[in-house]
Every structure is written in C-alpha cells, then in structure tokens.
Amino acid sequence: MLERQQLRRQMRQLRRALSPALRDHAHRQFARALSGTCHLRPGQRVAVYFAYGHEADLRYVIDVARRHRCLLYLPVITDFRRSRMRFVRYRTDSVMRVNRYGIAEPDPRHAEVIPVRGLDLILLPLVAFDERGWRLGSGAGFYDRSLHHLREGRGWRRPKLIGVGYECQRVAGLQPDRWDVPLDGIVTERGLQRFVRRAGYDCTL
C-alpha cells in the first residue's frame, strides 16, 4: 500500500509538470488516435469522463465522438462512502449537477442510467499504467467497484476498457490487486496500444 501511495505521488508530480502546450497536444492526439478505430462509430455507447485535477483530458475525444454520433455516458457518484458510481447518459442539453469534488455530472433523475455491461467502450483516467495493461487509479476505488465483476465474466458482452494517460505515466510494472481488471488498451500522445485480445472482441484497436 505504501509503495502504491508513493508511486501515485511521483506520477502526479510528473503529470503536473507537463506544460499546457504539451498537455493540449496530447489531448488532441487522443482524439486522433481514437477517431480511426471501430470504437467511435454511430450508435456506440461510450463512457467518457471529465478530467479532475491534472488528469488526461477528453474534451477533443468527446467532440469527435459526438461528430461520429456515439452515445455518450459519464460516471455519476451515487455513494461516496462506499465508492459507488453509475454511468448516466450525457447530452449537450443534459441537466447537470456538481459533485463534492467539483466535477460536473448529469443528474440521473433526468437521464438514462446504463449498466456497465450495456456499454461498448469505457475510457478510464489513471495515475499510472504498465506494459501488461494494469492500471493504477487515484485510490478512491470508484472504477474498481464498478468494473470488478468484469474480471470473472467470460461472456462476449463486455465493454472494452481503454485507459487514457500521458507517456510519462508509463511504468515498468504494477502489481495488481485481486479486484483489478486489466485494460484492453491505452491511448497516450503516441497513439493507441492494444494489450490483450479477448474472446468476443470483433475488431482490432
């Protein structure tokens, strides 16, 4: 646990040190890398996120996904104490609210709530990642709790999990916890990298 906390501090420092110009370049590259894949097609149900702090930003990805007529969803925290969240439809005219972190999220009372298995793609923020597709999150556990059941699922119907980060967040190796779910891919300013081809995956990254 201490090693993970130290790694989080180091990675956050590296992330904060990136210049605004480099960050904006990376954010544009995320959109370019994803726009040429099968993931951003009309009707695809894509979970995005609003960046918190110095997380990799998806503003250009969201713009591209809208142009490709994807259906967008955002994570909405439903229980802070138990680290629970749900994915709620996000439109340009969505009724929004601000959670305790200051992050805007669609009000689930006025929008469709979708189960995780109903999504086609989930784009995840991260603090670090390794070459095997393991992700180190912020430590709050919201994504871990929402996705843990996917690790045991063998059915074809599961969303693709793609982490979003900067190359400076790549590390040699992470020791996963028992509840961690590996990423299918990672997108950085260098492009999109596939980690594992899983059963039922009908297109290439």
**Is 136 within a domain?**
yes
Determine the residue type at 175: Q
- Give ∠ CA 162-181-193 in degrees, rounded to 5: 30
**Is 205 within a domain?**
no
8-12 long-range contacts (CB < 8 A, ≥24 apart) are 8/127, 8/128, 8/136, 8/138, 8/139, 11/127, 11/128, 11/136, 11/168, 11/169, 11/171, 12/53, 12/54, 12/127
**Is 201 within a domain?**
no
**Is 118 within a domain?**
yes
**Is 133 within a domain?**
yes
Cβ(196)–Cβ(160) below 8 Å: no
- Residue carrying structure tokens 């290439």: 204
**Is 200 within a domain?**
no
pLDDT given for residue 79 in this prediction:
85
Residues 16-67: pLDDT tens digits?
999 999 999 999 999 999 998 888 999 999 999 999 989 999 999 999 999 9
Looking up residue 24, the CATH number of its domain turns out to be: 3.40.50.10420
pTM score above 0.85: yes
Q: Give the single-character DSSP code of 46.
A: E
88 or 152: which leads in pLDDT:
88
- What is the domain extent for residue 28? 2-194
Q: How many domains does the chain have?
A: 1
- Residue carrying structure tokens 């899983």: 198
